[in-house]
Amino acid sequence: MEEDEVVVEEDEALKHFLPNGFGKHTKEANVAQQLERSKRPTISAIGNKDAPQDGRVGKDESSDEDSQNGSDDDDEFPVSHELVLKTHDKPITTITVDPSGSRFITGSTDSTIKFHDFASMTPNTLHAFKSIDPTATKASASSETHPVHHVEFNPNSPSSLLVISATPQAKIFSRDGEELKEFVKGDMYLRDMHNTKGHISEITTGTWHPKNRDLCVTAGTDSTLRIWDVNMPLKQKEVIVHKSRAAGSTGRTRMTAVVWGSQILGGKNLLVAAALDGSLVMWDGDGPYARPAAEIRDAHTNDTWTGGIDISADGRNLVTRGGDNSIKLWDTRKFKMPVSVVELASTSDQYANTNIKYSPKTSAIITGSANGHLHILNPATLKPELVIPVTDGSPLVTVVWHEKLNQILTGSANAEMHVLYNPDTSIRGAAMVMSKAPKRRHVDDDPNFTTDLSQGLSGDAISTSEGLRTAQAGTSYSARHPTEGLTVSGRSRDPRRPHIPMTTPFAKSQPDEKHVRENIPLSSMRDEDPREALLKYAETAEKDPMFTNAWKKTQPKTLYAEISDNEEDQGPERKKARQG
C-alpha cells in the first residue's frame, strides 16, 4: 500500500520572517521597483492637442494616433517620472542648479534658501543639507527677514551665487552658503538716480553676465538697472535709468524682469528688461547704456507685473510672460510687434516671480500655470505640445530645465518641489537618487523614532525575552561595578557604559598630615595666624626700613586713636568676646 504524501502549505508570513541565508547580506536596491513607484500615473492620459484656456490638455484614449503621439512626447520630454521634495514651509519662488547638475538651491517666501545635493540623497532621505537666511546680519541674528526673490548660480564660476531678497541690497554667496559680498545701498534722499551708488528701494530680480564671471545686473523698484562688478561692491559699475512715459512727471516705474543673453554665433550681447508700465526695453549688452537700442511701450498691459522673460540660445527670439494673462514671442531683430501671442492665466497677483524658460536646445518653452500644470510650448507658435498636472490646484511658480541632467525642476505655491525626469534620457540627478538603496533608518536619526523598534535597535539586536533579561542583568551588574571592564585610559569597553573621567595623581590617595608637612613646601602656613606672622617682622622693619628709608627723617609721627572709657573699663578682650 502506497503511503500518502504529506502536503504542507506554504506560510508566506513565516517565509518572510525566516532568513533566506546566513552570513552578511549586501544591501541592494530594487531599482526597477523604485522607478515604478516614481512613475507618474497621469502621464498616459496626456496628449499633445491644443490646450483650452483652463490649461488642460485632453486626448481620446481610443485614438491610436494620439496614443502614439503621447508615447513620443514621453520620450521627447523628461516628464515620465518624478521625485517630490518638500523642504520649505512656504511657496517656492526660485530654483537654480549649478552647471554640473550636482547641487541645486531653492528660495522661498519663508525668507530662507536651502542647499541640496543629489549625491547625498536616497529615496527616503530627501532633505536639504543646509538652510540659511540671506538677510540676517552677523550683528543681529533676530533682524527682520524678507522673502527671497531670486537665486542664481554664476554660469561662468559655479562657486558664486547671486541672492536677491526683498531688500535694496543684493548679496553674493559661495556655493556652501558663506556670504562673500554685499552690494551697497544708495542714498534715498537723492532725486537723480544716476548719482546714487546703489538701489534705494527693493530689488525684484537679477541675473549674471553670460560670459563675464565678474558682472551681474539687478533690477529694482527705483526704475533702474544696475550693473555690478563683484570685486567692487561699494558702487555699481553702470546705472541704467528707465524713464517711464506712463508714470507722469516722476518718470519712475518698477523694473520687474531682466535677462542678459548672448548669441552663440558670435553676435552682440543683449540686455532686455520689462517694467510695470508694460514696456519692454532692449540695450546692447556690452554698452553703451545711455539710450536703449529698442523699446516697446505697450508690450504688455500697463500696471501688470511681467515676471517671466527669457531669450533663446541664438539671441534671435525673446519670450515674455505678462500679468495680463498673455505669453508673447518677440523677434529681437524686428523688435516692434510680437510674432505670436497666446493666453494663459497669470499668477502674478499672488506670486510675481512666475517665470518662463527656454529648453536647453531652444526646442521648447516651459512655464507653470495658476492651476498647477506644467506647459511645454512650441518655440515658434507658442502652442502647447504637452500639458501635465504637477501640483494640481496649487500654482506652479518657477520652472528650470537643466541641460546636462535633462530634468525639469518645478517649485509650487504649496512648498513642494518636483523633479521630472525620464530614466532613459535623464542622467544623474533624480535618476541617480532613485537607483540607490534606501537608507536604513536608525533610531538615533530622529527623536520621533526613538521608540519605534520596527526597524531594529541601535547596536546588537535583542529579539528574545531571555536576551533582554540578560542585558538588563548585565546593566545592573555594571552599575554595581563601575570600574570593571575599563581600558587603560579609563574608558569603558562596553559602549553602553558612560565614560568615567580619568583620575588625577592628587586624587589617587588621601595622604596623612605628616606626609603633607614633610613633602609639600609651605604647607605649615595653613595653620599659622597671618597677623602674628607679620608682627614678627615689625621691629626689624622699624629699625631698618627697606622701602621707606629715604623718607625716614621726614616721616610724620604716627598717631593712633585713644582708648575710650568703655574699652578701658571692660578691656579689649571683654569687648571682643561681647562682639563675637
Residues 29-66 as b/e (b if ≥16 CB within 10 A, e otherwise) read eeeeebbeebebeebeebbbbebeeebebebeeeeeeb
Q: Parse the chain into domains and list their residue ranges.
A: 45-434
The pLDDT of residue 579 is above 60 = no
pLDDT of residue 246: 77
Mean pLDDT of the chain: 78
pLDDT band, very low/low/confident/very high, at 144 (cuts 50, 70, 90):
confident
Q: Is the pLDDT of residue 486 over 80?
A: no
From the CB of residue 544, how many other CB atoms can be counted at a distance below 10 Å? 9
Are the C-beta atoms of residues 399 and 67 closer than 8 Å to each other?
no
pLDDT at 481 over 50: no
Residues facing residue 417 across a β-bridge: 85, 411
Contact (CB, 8 A) for 366 and 359: yes
Extract the C-alpha cell encoding 136.
Answer: 540676517
- Residue whose grid cell is 543646509: 130
Tell me if 375 sits within 8 A of 35, measured CB to CB.
no
> Could you tell me if 78 and 421 are in contact, meaning their C-beta atoms sit under 8 angstroms apart?
yes
Q: Which pLDDT tens digit goes with each residue over 351-399? A: 877 899 999 989 999 999 999 999 999 999 999 999 999 998 899 999 9
Distance CA 245, CA 344 (A): 28
| Cα dihedral 146, 149, 154, 158 sign | positive
Could you tell me if 402 and 102 are in contact, meaning their C-beta atoms sit under 8 angstroms apart?
A: no
Helix runs in 248-383, H state only: none
Question: Which pLDDT band, with edges at 50, 70 and 90, does 342 fall under?
Answer: very high
Higher-confidence residue of 502 and 271: namely: 271
Q: Which of 56-60, 153-157, 425-429, 529-533 has the lowest mean pLDDT?
A: 56-60
The beta-strand segments (E) located in 102-166 are: 103-108, 113-117, 130-132, 148-153, 160-165
The pLDDT score that the predictor gives to residue 140 is 46
List of E strands, 369-466: 373-377, 384-389, 396-402, 407-412, 417-421
Contacts of 31 (CB under 8 A, 6+ apart): 434, 435
Q: Is the torsion defined by CA of 566, 572, 573, 577 positive or negative?
A: positive
Residue 49 pLDDT > 60, yes or no? Answer: no
pLDDT of amino acid 469: 44
- Tell how strand 270-275 and strand 148-153 pair up: unpaired
pLDDT at 573: 56
Name the pTM for this structure: 0.69
Between CA 377 and CA 440 the distance in angstroms is 42
Contact 190, 174 (CB under 8 A): no
Q: Is the pLDDT of residue 478 over 60?
A: no
Q: Specify the pLDDT at position 475.
A: 43
Buried b (16+ CB within 10 A) or exposed e, 453-483: eeeeeeeeebeeeeeeeeeeeeeeebeeeee
What is the DSSP code string of 421-454?
E-TTT--SHHHHHHTSPPPPPPTTT-GGGTT--T
Amino acid letter, 95: I
Alpha carbons 12 and 120: distance in angstroms, whole number:
36
At 355 the pLDDT is 92
Task: Give the number of C-alpha atoms closer than 13 A to the C-alpha of residue 207, restricted to the C-beta side.
Answer: 19
**In percent, how much of the chain has pLDDT > 90?**
48
| Least confident interval from 31-45, 93-107, 322-336, 437-451 | 437-451
pLDDT of residue 543: 81
Handedness of CA 217, 221, 224, 230 (dihedral sign): negative
CATH number for the segment(s) 45-434 = 2.130.10.10
Q: Which residue has the cell 562596553?
A: 494
Residue 17 has pLDDT above 70, yes or no: no
The residue length of the chain stands at 580
**50 pLDDT above the threshold of 80:** no
Which triple of cell numbers denotes residue 12?
508566506
Which of the four pLDDT bands, split at 50, 70 and 90, describes residue 402?
very high
Flag the least confident range among 215-224, 285-294, 343-352. 343-352
70 is written with which cell numbers?
503621447
> Is residue 59 pLDDT above 60, yes or no?
no
- Beta carbons of 409 and 105 less than 8 angstroms apart: no
Q: What pLDDT is stored for residue 406 in this prediction?
A: 94
Q: Highest-confidence range of 139-143, 379-383, 445-449, 557-561, by mean pLDDT? A: 379-383
Q: Does residue 14 carry a pLDDT above 50?
A: yes
Q: So what's the pLDDT on residue 32?
A: 83
Residue with cell 580619568: 502
Grid coordinates representing 123? 529615496
- The whole-number pLDDT of residue 145 equals 82
Widest CA span in the chain:
141
* Predicted confidence (pLDDT) at residue 232 exceeds the cutoff of 90: yes
Could you read off the pLDDT of 418-468 as tens digits, one per residue? 999 999 999 999 999 998 888 776 555 554 444 333 333 333 333 334 443
The two beta strands, 171-174 and 215-220, are unpaired
Judged on CB neighbours under 10 Å (0-12, 13-18, 19+), 512 is exposed
Residue 267, pLDDT above cutoff 90: no
Helix, strand, coil % over all residues of the chain, rounded to 5:
20, 25, 55
Q: Is the pLDDT of residue 7 over 70?
A: no
